[in-house]
C-alpha cells in the first residue's frame, strides 16, 4: 500500500508497478506502468484531491483495516536535521507532516544533493476537530508554523544518506495556443484593474503546471504585462516563476513544492541567495 503526498516520480512508480509491488495507491500517480496496472485492475487506485488527502489520512480513512489505525512506515526526505531532531524538508513538503504523524516507524532520507532548505518552510501539524485551530494567514509571506517537521525520535528506525537530485524532465515548449491563452488572460486582468475591480498589483495568484501555466507566468514576466509587486500563493512553482522573480515583478511566492526542470533547478541553486528571501 503506497500513499504519497502527490507523485513519487515515474521512475520509482513504474519500477514498483512492473515488479507487482503495489497493491493500493492513493491519491495521485505518474507513470505509464502504474497507469497500466490501475487500468487492468491489478492495482487498487483511489483518486483524491491533493488538498484533501492529508486530512483524510489523519481521519484514518486509509488505515481502517489496521488495528491501531496507523501507517506502518513513513519515508520522508530531509535536506537537513535540526539539533532537536526536526526534519527540514527539501524541495517539497506535501503531506509529509501528516504522514509522519500517522506512522509507527519513520525512515529519514537526508539528501545532500541540494542545499539545506532551513528557514524556507512553514510547517504546521494537523489537529482534528474539535481541537482544530484557524490558520492566521492574511498574505503569502505570513508564517504561522515552524521551519521543520517535529519528529518523535523513538519512532525513527533509520537515517539514510543520499546524494540524488530530483529527476525531472525539461518543460514542454510553449506553443501558439498557450501563448494566445496567456495574452487573453493578461488582457482580462488589465481590464479588471482598469475598472477598479482588482488592485494594480492584482490579488495573490495561483497557477497550475504545464506549458499553458508557464506561458501565463512568462507573460507576467514580460515587459507588456506591466504588473508590479505581485505575490503568489500556489501549489507548485515551475521554471517561469524564476523569470518572474528575475523581472522584478514578483515580490513573494508561497507553494507546497518547487518542480523545476534540470536547468531550472541548477539556476535556482546557483542563485540561491537571490531567491531564498522571497520564498
CB atoms within 10 A of CB 269: 14
Mean pLDDT across the stretch 109-130?
Answer: 94
Residues 30-59 have a mean pLDDT of: 93
pLDDT (0 to 100) of residue 175: 85
Largest CA distance in the chain: 60
- Burial string for 112-145 (b: 16+ CB within 10 Å, else e) reads eebeebeebbebeebeeeeeeeeeeeeebeeeee
Contacts of 99 (CB under 8 A, 6+ apart): 3, 5, 54, 57, 71, 74, 76
For cell 541540494, what's the residue?
A: 114
Phi, psi of 106 (to 5 degrees): -130, 130
Domains along the sequence of the chain with CATH = 1-50 (no CATH), 64-167 (no CATH), 176-278 (3.30.750.70)
Residue 54 is predicted with a pLDDT of: 94
Q: Are 141 and 231 in contact (CB under 8 A)?
A: yes
Q: Are 174 and 214 in contact (CB under 8 A)?
A: yes
**pLDDT tens digits, one per residue of 65-89:** 998 999 999 999 999 999 999 999 9
Beta bridge partners of 236: 257
Catalytic amino acids? 235
61 exposure class (CB count in 10 Å sphere: 0-12, 13-18, 19+): middle
Strand (E) or helix (H) holding 141: none
Mean pLDDT taken over the chain: 92
For 266-272, what is the mean pLDDT? 94
Look up residue 44 and give its DSSP letter. Answer: E
279 has pLDDT over 80: yes
**For the chain, first and last CA: distance in Å?**
34
Where is pLDDT greater, at 155 or 222?
155
Q: Does the structure show a pLDDT above 80 at 6?
A: no
Residue 195, pLDDT > 90, answer: yes
Sorted by sequence, the CB contacts under 8 Å of residue 25 that are 6+ apart come out as 1, 2, 3, 13, 34, 38, 43, 44, 45, 46
The region of weakest confidence among 55-59, 86-90, 170-174, 239-243 is: 170-174
Question: In this structure, are residues 176 and 269 in contact, taking their beta carbons and an 8 Å threshold?
Answer: no
Above 70 in pLDDT, residue 223? no
What is the per-residue pLDDT across 124-180, written as a single tens digit (0 to 9) for each?
Answer: 999 999 999 999 999 999 999 999 999 999 999 999 999 988 888 887 778 889 889
The predicted model scores a pTM of: 0.90
Lowest mean pLDDT among 33-37, 210-214, 267-271: 210-214
At 209, is the pLDDT very low, low, confident or very high (cuts 50, 70, 90)? confident
| 268-276: average pLDDT | 95
Q: Mean pLDDT, to the nearest integer, of 222-240?
A: 88
Amino acid at each position: 500500500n503506497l500513499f504519497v503526498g502527490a507523485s513519487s516520480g515515474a521512475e520509482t512508480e513504474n519500477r514498483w508497478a512492473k515488479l507487482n509491488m503495489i497493491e493500493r495507491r492513493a491519491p495521485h500517480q505518474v507513470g505509464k506502468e502504474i497507469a497500466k496496472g490501475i487500468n487492468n485492475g491489478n492495482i487498487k487506485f483511489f483518486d483524491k484531491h491533493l488538498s484533501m488527502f492529508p486530512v483524510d489520512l489523519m481521519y484514518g480513512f486509509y488505515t481502517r483495516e489496521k488495528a491501531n489505525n496507523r501507517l506502518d512506515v513513513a519515508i520522508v526526505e530531509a535536506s537537513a536535521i535540526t539539533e532537536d531532531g526536526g526534519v527540514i524538508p527539501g524541495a517539497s513538503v506535501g503531506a509529509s507532516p501528516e504522514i509522519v504523524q500517522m506512522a509507527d516507524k519513520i525512515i529519514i532520507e537526508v539528501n545532500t544533493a541540494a542545499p539545506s532548505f532551513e528557514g524556507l518552510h512553514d510547517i504546521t501539524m494537523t489537529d482534528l476537530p474539535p481541537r482544530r485551530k484557524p490558520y492566521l494567514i492574511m498574505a503569502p509571506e505570513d508564517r504561522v508554523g515552524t521551519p521543520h517537521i517535529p519528529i518523535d525520535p523513538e519512532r525513527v528506525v533509520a537515517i539514510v544518506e543520499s546524494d540524488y537530485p530530483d529527476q525531472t524532465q525539461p518543460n514542454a515548449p510553449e506553443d501558439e495556443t498557450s501563448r494566445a491563452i496567456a495574452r487573453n488572460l493578461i488582457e482580462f486582468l488589465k481590464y479588471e484593474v482598469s475598472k477598479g475591480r482588482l488592485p494594480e498589483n492584482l490579488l495573490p495568484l495561483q497557477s497550475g503546471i504545464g506549458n499553458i501555466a508557464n506561458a501565463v507566468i512568462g507573460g507576467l514576466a514580460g515587459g507588456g504585462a506591466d504588473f508590479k509587486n505581485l505575490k503568489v500563493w500556489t501549489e507548485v512553482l515551475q521554471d517561469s516563476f524564476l523569470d518572474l522573480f528575475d523581472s522584478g515583478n514578483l515580490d513573494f511566492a508561497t507553494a507546497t513544492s518547487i518542480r523545476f526542470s534540470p536547468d531550472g533547478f541548477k539556476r535556482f541553486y546557483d542563485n540561491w541567495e537571490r531567491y531564498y528571501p522571497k520564498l
